[in-house]
Structure formats: C-alpha cells, structure tokens
Copies of this chain bind each other. A is one copy, B any other.
C-alpha cells in the first residue's frame, strides 16, 4: 500500500515515515501542497479536513496531523490557534506595536508569558492528533499528549514553536533544552497509537 504523508516539512516526513516503517508500506509525498484552511475547532477535525482534502485530490490513503498547546489558565488557548496566536484578538492588549517586529514564534511565546504573568496555575499540555483517511468514507486516528508547565521565561535553542517556554512533567528544563524531544513528544505518542491501528487495518 501507498500512504501519502501530507506535509511539506521534510523533518516531519522523515520522523513519521521512520516511525511507521515496520508496516512495510510505501510513503509518498504530495505532488504539490494543497492550501487547506484549518478552520475546525478540534485538533482531530483539522487533521481530518487536511487528510480528506489530500485523499480527494490524489486518491490514495492520506495521513495528516494537527497539534498545538493547551493552557489550563487560558481556558484551553491557544489550542487550534497555536500557530497564529499572536494574531488572535484574545489577549491582544498585552502586545505592543514594537513587539510585532519579533519572529512569529517569539511573539507567540511573549504573548503567553505576558498573559500568565500573575498566574499561579501554569499547567499546560501539547496535544497531537493524526488522521489517516483510508478511503473516501473511512479513517483511523491516533492521539497523543505531553503534559507540563509554562516556564517563567523562554530558554533553550532546540525545537521550535512553544518549546522554549514549555517544561514537560518530570523535567526542570524547557523542551527546547531536551535532545531526545522526539522520543517523548505528543506527536510520537500519537504516532505510536496510530501504528497499532494501521497494523490492524492494512
């Protein structure tokens, strides 16, 4: 069987295909990227909309993921808006005009830190959902979580996104300091969950 991994990110393609390689399937890249709007309000549904769009465009089983950060004291935000949190109206008062010169990831992190400035509850989790559309009416999915806390300030240079301000449970440094991040990540857990399901349906 062929499985299309719907990402234009090379590292993600490698991570996913190496994790699933024991399944003896052929991994293919999309011939071109589709512009799928991630308009849903759950991670699962965003992954589903993407997988479905690729299945419909190219006609082979398609795997897509969505992930983000869920912060308890912010009512689950940034959630499905993780990548574009700096642009969201929610909490926009904490950003000043000059902040917008920062790179997008830094701006997202700054916004989170300022919103949590006087907040004692710093509990948060990274969440990942991965959907495989097997036919035009059938699919499977796997999910993973990494629980932790929001740091007081950013640190570390590995990883990307919110990694510098996220301290996983059982650690005292941020994810951007952890070399083996990929082994403990929410996406790895989701891939493990998916692996079991794929093995059965193939």
- In the complex the two chains form, is B138's CB within 8 Å of A196's CB? yes
A9 within 8 A of B: no
Give complex CA distance A24, B96 in Å: 62
A143 within 8 A of B: yes
Which B residues are CB-close (under 8 A) to A49? 42
A197 within 8 A of B: yes
Which B residues are CB-close (under 8 A) to A196? 138
Give complex CA distance A6, B140 in Å: 19
Give complex CA distance A184, B196 in Å: 33
A190 within 8 A of B: yes
Contact residues of A between 99 and 146, Cβ < 8 Å to B: 134-135, 137-144
Counted per complex, copies of this chain come to 2
**Given A200-B200, A200-B201, A201-B201, also A137-B193 (CB < 8 A):** yes
A53 within 8 A of B: no
A 135-174 binary contact with B (CB < 8 Å = 1; else 0): 1011111111000000000000000000000000000000
- Which of B42, B44, B138 contacts A142, CB < 8 Å? B138
A188 within 8 A of B: no
A48 within 8 A of B: yes
Which B residues are CB-close (under 8 A) to A194? 138
Residue of B nearest to A145 (CB): B137
Give complex CA distance A143, B52 in Å: 12
Residue positions of A touching B, CB distance < 8 A: 39-42, 44-45, 48-49, 134-135, 137-144, 189-190, 193-194, 196-197, 200-201
